[in-house]
Structure 1
């Protein structure tokens, strides 16, 4: 079982958090899942529960691969996420009037099955 540092250094992760982080670690580079996708994949919880797990424990996993359903970059972490997306070749799209691109969910979304290199449908 994964152990978290700092404030939770002496405790193990809750089982649900462990499952969320395991799914996150399994998302291939250049692909993403939404918070809701992760919850649906697990068959439990919802987007807010997944978001809470990521906020509390997600720093040790590729957190930038779990995103909002509108493809916007995580507020406060946009530059770090954008750097990772560019390194991994994650499909992005420009949005008129916005200074930051969004993740192109049509092309980047992953459904949790073996990656076949194409979009999985949204």
Structure 2
């Protein structure tokens, strides 16, 4: 498999890819929606609310942070996850782009 070579892609192409990857999983979309309702949560609170392991939460948070959709601060024994008004507005713009139903019935099980 070819590797990503920084000189082969523009910063805009890389940025779009990072955001696409970040919102590609329903759990990460749900995390953003939780943060919009509660602009500051810890990784422990996300673990409890989403019923996922700390390592899974960490992996999801890393992808969201890489895309610039959230902010993460490190504290002893926990992470503080925040979303700013600017990040909320960016997410709202993305929501309007994806305001449609999937074409394949296979994916509908994800919506329940």
TM-score tier (shorter)? 0.3 to 0.5
Higher strand share: 2
- TM-score in terms of structure 1 length: 0.39
